[in-house]
Copies of this chain bind each other. A is one copy, B any other.
């Protein structure tokens, strides 16, 4: 098994994913939020690349059966039901609902990774389960960090390092690309002080400026879910 990592959605090469397994990571907050929504009973998630595409997807659904969720510039999109806070996707709201979802980085990364044979969503919240599922595919694994506005984002990169730690524990003979190796070493060097490292990340600072400290704390919890969202060719579901 070979493990490679893309630093951003824009840098992801869809042709390399063909026949392989992709783990899309957007810690703050898209993959954390989608994992939470499915864990709380949402029936499916339709990722849209743009706000207008999200509205078009919703127009074909029965009123009352869906919620519009996501963000632009980290805040609620006008006319949408939910923003991109995982804590907003409680069971009372999302159970049995379709979520039409668009975010600045995470949903773009998913759309770029749909060439993969297997496409799973990963975050700290489900890292161990996501790595296990990816290892079981017996394909090469590509970690697709969403990044922030086409820039490398420390939160996604450290989560990639954690996933590589789990993957190499499960598959000790896996070969790592240099970038995977660097992120693995970065994670190992900071595993007991992740919060301090994360506090230096630019995206982290931006969320703090928006009073979203509770979202950060929530998203940095490890393995509170065994659920790994998967793209089935047309939607994101719980396996």
Counting CB contacts under 8 A, is A189 at the interface?
yes
Smallest CB gap from A158: residue in B = B182
A107 CB–B CB distance under 8 Å = no
Q: How long is the Cα–Cα vector from A83 to B52 in the complex, in angstroms?
A: 55
Count identical subunits in the complex: 2
Closest Cβ–Cβ distance, residue A215 to chain B (whole Å): 18
Residue of B nearest to A176 (CB): B200
With an 8 Å Cβ cutoff, the count of chain A residues facing the other chain is: 24
Question: With the chains together, A87 CA to B73 CA distance in Å?
Answer: 52
Contact with B along A1-39 (1 / 0, CB 8 A): 000000100010000000000000000000000000000
From B11, B153, B154, B189, give the contact of A11 (CB < 8 A): B11
The chain B residue sitting closest to A8, CB to CB, is: B11
Task: For the complex of A and B, list the 9 residue pairs with the smallest distance between their C-beta atoms, beginning with the closest.
Answer: A189-B189, A152-B179, A154-B178, A186-B186, A152-B178, A178-B202, A178-B201, A182-B186, A181-B200
